[in-house]
Chains A and B, each alone.
Chain A
Amino acid sequence: ETGVTQTPRHLVMGMTNKKSLKCEQHLGHNAMYWYKQSAKKPLELMFVYNFKEQTENNSVPSRFSPECPNSSHLFLHLHTLQPEDSALYLCASSLGTSGTGELFFGEGSRLTVL
């Protein structure tokens, strides 16, 4: 148990579906992140939230829509995805948004887009 919980762990969706990934952290952290991990690529930072405010959007296509209702919860809403969006989506949290502290990761949501 890492303190960061992601659901669902596995998701298969068609290109026209709408689905959401959920992340919850129980660590009292202020910052939350979405990362995308594809085969043979470095971990890609997608979004950063600090105290519910988005502080970073790494040129992510609009078919990915993040939502952070409070410091403990983070969602990634998915709409009209492409097969190349199939990947492991990792949520992480940290005390602050600077790169000076460690990140705590969830177990990931494995997404397959058909």
Chain B
Amino acid sequence: SQQGEEDPQALSIQEGENATMNCSYKTSINNLQWYRQNSGRGLVHLILIRSNEREKHSGRLRVTLDTSKKSSSLLITASRAADTASYFCAMGGEGNTPLVFGKGTRLSVIA
């Protein structure tokens, strides 16, 4: 069955530095999505990358996808204290299957 694994589980960086989070998955996907969750709040969609895409940008976010390695990475450039949150990858499978979420990476950006 599909499972997502984020790495690292927790990351602490200084404001202005870049943050990189990785996601690995097991079975083939239609797309991979990244979500952000502030403590105790709902998840917010950040970006979706399709299986035939290799890289996507949105503002300070850069997502890459390597389907041969079954992995994706999320890069946040020039991080800010407000980026402190948990970040989840979610895999969209083939057919009518719901998204499967990973356990998340907890990012702390220190001002």
**Chain A residues packing against B (C-beta within 8 Å):** 2, 4, 6, 33, 40-43, 45, 48, 55-56, 88, 90, 92, 97-108, 110
Contact = CB atoms under 8 A, between A and B. Distances in A.
Given A41-B103, A43-B88, A43-B101, A103 B43 contact: yes
B99 interface: yes
Interface string B13-52: 0000000000000000011010100001111110010000
A75 B40 CA distance: 20
Contacts of A33: 98
A55 B42 CA distance: 23
A112 to B, nearest CB: 13
Contacts of A40: 103
The 10 closest A-B pairs by CB, nearest first: A99-B92, A105-B42, A43-B101, A102-B45, A99-B99, A105-B43, A107-B42, A98-B96, A42-B103, A106-B42
Interface of B: 3-4, 30-31, 33, 35, 40-45, 48, 88, 90-93, 95-104
A92 B35 CA distance: 13
Given A105-B44, A108-B40, A108-B42, A99 B93 contact: yes
B16 to A, nearest CB: 29
B45 A97 contact: no
Contacts of B48: 101-102
A97 B40 contact: no
A97 B92 CA distance: 11
Contact of B41 (A41, A92, A108): A108
Contact of B96 (A6, A42, A43, A97): A97
A99 B41 contact: no
Contact of B30 (A97, A99, A107, A108): A99
B43 A90 contact: yes
A41 B88 CA distance: 12
12 contacts: A42-B103, A56-B98, A90-B42, A92-B42, A92-B43, A99-B30, A99-B31, A99-B93, A99-B100, A102-B33, A102-B48, A104-B45
